[in-house]
A and B are shown apart, each in its own frame.
Chain A
């Protein structure tokens, strides 16, 4: 039967919310015929909603299907992560860590860089004045033998060191400094090799040739001109 629209709609606009909020209703709602009728209709509606699907039942074997699905998912995961993944992964990570700690620092490519220090200031150009300090810093690429040299005017060896002062060696890095005490062209270089390095003979060209012939590598730094 279709509910007929009547005058008072306070039950829908006010009381429905108050009931959902668990609030008491005022006296109007117990005396207004429209509201009483509406209340009865909504009570029936609530009752209908409460008993919705009361007879609905899932398939009798639904629990077995849940277990089947769980097993299938476990199996799929097992297939994608065999037993050996964890140990192999851990071993691999350990090897990588060891490589990083031991091998990588030793394999920093060889190179030579210089700084020229004049008093308290540092200049990075290749121009210097008498009395300036030439600082050398080299990485030896993990070579067993290495030394720093500085030739003046390609003929005069003014610095040659390996582990002894003025050289100092730390974690594959070789550093030294020398005072540029006269006008001229200064050529810094790094020689490194797995074999012992040949002795110094005379000038830059001859010594470099001898080193290359002995299988060493030679890294020339920027030439510095002192005026």
Chain B
């Protein structure tokens, strides 16, 4: 069984966004299929984007995203309602992404790092700005991949997914102040990394 949240109170429904309330109502009617369909529609892309940054590989991210929802479907009838469904879902995805990220890291240590592709502008882009933007994004993604998985996780959840520190703390089981320090220390690392690539933020 999944136990990804660490407080014991059930969240009042009034504080939840509409899709969550609809999904919970579906669960009340014992229709996990309907609840899953809502979750996939609402959070499917966000989970994919999170996984994509966490594992740095499109195919693997897609596989993890799909398995996150498969696992969610199986655990939905036992959902304890102590957090939002979104936080709970990201908790499942996070476990799988961290496992995958650790494996990738181990593999790289064993076989050596993959050659970095140059951060060249994408050919055929419509404007110079757009090309520069793409290039910066590519560099930032590479810099993120150089961080340890648990640091990358905090950064991606905080900035890409816009989760609050209490939410990240709830799904990761860590304390919010610890996460704040982790993020504050990681930002200069990212800045230096970008500077090394000739792309100041």
Also in contact, A48 and B40, with CB within 8 A (given A66-B70, A70-B73, A73-B70): no
Query: Is B31 part of the binding interface, using a Cβ–Cβ cutoff of 8 Å?
Result: no
Of B40, B156, B165, B180, the residue contacting A63 (CB under 8 A) is: B40
- CB contact between A41 and one of B67, B177, B201 (< 8 Å): that residue: B201
B52 contacts which chain A residues (CB < 8 A)?
Answer: 53, 56
Note all chain B residues with C-beta closer than 8 A to A58. Answer: 44-45, 48, 62, 65
Question: Is the C-beta of A1 less than 8 angstroms from some C-beta in chain B?
Answer: yes
Is the Cβ of A69 less than 8 Å from the Cβ of B140? no
B73-87 CB mask vs A (1 if < 8 Å, else 0) is: 110000000000000
8 A Cβ contacts from A55-109 to B: 56-59, 62-63, 65-66, 69-70, 73
Within 8 A of B (CB), among A12-43: 12, 16-17, 19-21, 41-42
> In the complex, which residues of chain B have a beta carbon less than 8 angstroms from the beta carbon of A1?
200
Q: Give the contacting residue for A45; candidates B53, B190, B198; CB below 8 A.
A: B190
Query: Is residue B184 within 8 Å, beta carbon to beta carbon, of the partner chain?
Result: yes
Contact assessment for A62 and B188 in the assembled complex, using a CB-CB cutoff below 8 Å: no
Q: Are A20 and B183 in touch, CB under 8 angstroms?
A: yes
User: Which residues does chain A contribute within 8 Å of B155, judged by CB atoms?
Assistant: 49
Q: List 17 A-B contacts (CB under 8 A).
A: A2-B195, A3-B191, A16-B187, A17-B180, A19-B184, A20-B183, A20-B184, A41-B191, A48-B136, A49-B190, A52-B160, A53-B52, A54-B49, A56-B48, A62-B44, A63-B40, A73-B70
A62 touches B140 (CB 8 A): no
Q: A41-B191, A45-B190, A49-B155 are in contact. Are A70 and B201 (CB under 8 A)?
A: no
A42: which of B36, B48, B187 is its contact (CB, 8 Å)?
A: B187
Closest A residue, CB atoms, query B183: A20
Question: B90 an interface residue at 8 Å Cβ cutoff?
Answer: no
Residues of B within 8 A of A73 (CB): 70, 74
CB of B65 within 8 A of CB of A50, answer: no
Could you tell me if B70 and A70 are in contact, using CB atoms closer than 8 angstroms? yes
Which chain B residues lie closer than 8 Å to A19 at the CB level? 184
- Chain B residues whose C-beta falls within 8 Å of the C-beta of A195 in the assembled complex: none
Nearest to B176 among chain A residues (CB) is A21
Beta-carbon nearest neighbor of B179 in chain A: A20
Looking at chain A's contact residues, the main secondary structure is helix
Complex Cα spacing A49 to B124, Å = 24
B contact face: mostly helix, strand, loop, or mixed: helix
> Which residues of chain B are within 8 angstroms of A10 by Cβ–Cβ distance?
none
Q: Residues of A contacting B53 with CB < 8 Å?
A: 52-53
Of chain A, the residue at the smallest CB distance from B155 is A49
In chain B, what residue has the closest Cβ to A12? B188
With A49-B160, A50-B160, A52-B137 already in contact, the answer to whether A2 and B198 are too (CB < 8 A) is yes
- Bound Cα distance A96, B67 (Å): 41
How many Å from the CB of B47 to the closest CB on chain A? 9
Query: Does A46 reach chain B (CB closer than 8 Å)?
Result: yes
What A residues does B69 contact at CB under 8 A? 66
Residues of A within 8 A of B165 (CB): 20
Verify if B117 is at the interface (C-beta below 8 Å from A).
no
10 nearest interchain CB pairs? Answer: A49-B159, A45-B201, A17-B184, A53-B49, A58-B48, A20-B180, A16-B184, A44-B201, A66-B69, A3-B200
Q: In angstroms, how far is the closest chain B Cβ from the Cβ of A225?
A: 68
Minimum Cβ distance to chain B for residue A25 (Å) = 13
Docked Cα-Cα span, A21 to B49, in Å, equals 26
Q: Mark B158-199, 1 if CB is under 8 A from A, else 0.
A: 011010010000000000010011011001101100110010
Contact of A2 with B201 in the complex, beta carbons under 8 Å: no
Complex Cα–Cα for A69 and B140 (A): 34
Query: Given the complex, which residues of A lie within 8 Å of B191, measured CB to CB?
Result: 3, 41-42, 45
- Given A56-B48, A62-B66: A50 touches B162 (CB 8 Å cut-off): yes
Tell whether B34 is near chain A: CB-to-CB under 8 Å. Answer: no
